[in-house]
Structure 1
Amino acid sequence: MTFLMRLCTLVVNVLCLPLHLMHALGLYVIYKRVFPFCLYRISVTYNRKMHDKKKELFRSLPEFVAPGRQLTILEIGCGTGTNFEFYPPGCKVICTDPNPNFQKYLKKSMMENDHLTYEKFVVASGEDMGSVEDESVDVVVCTLVLCSVNSIQQTLREANRILRPGGAFFFIEHVVADASTWTYFFQHVLQPAWYYFGDGCEITRETWKHLEEAGFSDLKLRHIEAPLLSLIKPHIIGYAVK
């Protein structure tokens, strides 16, 4: 299976040569302007299918507010703001995303979710959120983001830095399938093309291992099969306490 997988991956890589060339020449940046529209459409379907899972996970958010304070949430890679509807009323939200073209859709989500207070939108990658102070937020939320950051380890270090002691890192991420499955096979074969479709998304990451090694004091993590396309069915969901 390994030889066949490598051979098929090579074929897909060859077919993706025009995309590789566009990326090398800096032309791929055009897609970054279109991607927010694509993600906005996809997110509607994702939220519908994952509604119960998200509602169950984010129900725990109020447990992490500091006594006498307003719950402060920082969302890494907030995209179009599809998580806002699940946040408790009255909390303060800081939004970050490396793609400034999301702001149009983000504003729409903010208007539709006026039960929240929005502090600011910061154009920043998960690996470098230097404009956010140390130990300044109660919760960091990260959904479908660790698949596309350049460094999961550095992103988790940044999350740890900005979380106050006792705060929590909430996550929902798609991950690589079990190596014995055909899903694993097709994830690796189609990864070269998927990378461009998903704006840097990688469907072959063992993200749970990085969370286990990130130094959190407590980790609540579950592997689930999401009701989605086979390639992104394997998910992890949960939260980690600083």
Structure 2
Amino acid sequence: MSVQQNNPLRGRLNAWFLAAVDSYVNRLLHAKKSALFADLSGTVVEIGPGVGANLTYLAGAHRVIGIEPNAQMRPILERRAARRGVNLEILPVGAEATGLPEASVDFVVCTLVLCTVGEPRRVLEETRRILKPGGKFLFVEHVEAPHGSMLRRLQRLLRRPWRYVFEGCCLDQDTASLIRAVGFSNCEIDQYRLKSPFVPVNEQIAGVAIV
């Protein structure tokens, strides 16, 4: 979930936690990801690949660029990419300014990451900038629950400690509105409720935004 490292200890703990729950979370999201990532090809940028939760779906890409500034994640990510035969290049930069050329990539992938960045709109604007005309932004994100719901009240109760432990992760961000606001030519967003023990992040969206 994290694309930035604010604290060395929490960075290591988050890397360990994500590696530990990786296979379980992938089972929960496998159907969504399989449908969403079925046609990945060409040059693919993944924002915040973490410890490599999406590597299974990236094997068909010609080139994969991971935007991952959290140094604690990278050794695990590199080992897993090598085992799966993924041609991965890691850029240790923030997703707000990747340094990649304008209109240079075919797909940008982002799963459970926009909740952690300090300026999600800037990340989305950068995503749109680096995508080729007709390029696709593919995303799965947890978001704010409906106003007045029990889940929304739980998110508000846990918001501060959750943000601290998971290095900036915001439980109640309206990510769908942010995606729609940055000027993609078309957005298809499906909102759903995941059934998992990780209750505060069970309100989610998945979709495609096209340049």
CA contact (8 A) 1:74 1:140 kept: yes
The 2-side partners of 1:201 and 1:48 are apart by 22
Q: Answer yes or no: is 1:86 the counterpart of 2:54.
A: no
Residue 143 (structure 2) aligns with: 175
> What corresponds to 1:241 in structure 2?
210
Q: Which of 150, 153, 160 does residue 185 from structure 1 map onto?
A: 153
Shift of 1:212: 1.0
What is the aligned partner in structure 2 of residue 203 from structure 1? 171
Percent of paired sites with the same residue:
31
RMSD across aligned positions (CA): 1.5
Q: Is the contact made by 2:192 and 2:204 (CA closer than 8 Å) also made in structure 1?
A: yes
Secondary structure of the corresponding residue to residue 109 of structure 2: strand
Partner Cα distance (1:28, 1:100) in 2: 11
For residues 135 and 45 of structure 1, the distance between their equivalents in structure 2, rounded to whole angstroms, comes to 35
TM-score, length-normalised on structure 2?
A: 0.92
Does residue 128 of structure 1 match 2:107?
Answer: no
C-alpha contact 2:56 2:84 (8 A) present in aligned 1: yes
SS, match of residue 73 in structure 2: helix
Q: Which amino acid aligns with 1:232?
A: V
Corresponding residue of 1:231? 200
Q: Aligned partners of 2:94, 2:205: CA distance in 1, in Å? A: 22
**Secondary structure in structure 2 of the residue aligned to 1:150:** coil
Of structures 1 and 2, the one with the larger relative CO (CA 8 A, separation 6+) is: 2
Which ranges in structure 2 are unaligned for 5 or more consecutive residues?
A: 1-5
* Displacement after TM superposition at 1:152 (Å): 1.1
Residue 43 in structure 1 maps to residue 2 in structure 2: no
Bigger Rg over Cα: 1
Pick from 184, 190, 194 the counterpart of residue 222 of structure 1: 190
What residue is the counterpart of 2:45 in the other structure?
Answer: 74
Q: Which segments of 5 or more consecutive residues in structure 1 lack a partner in the other structure?
A: 1-26, 63-70
Q: Which residue of 2 aligns with 1:98?
A: 69
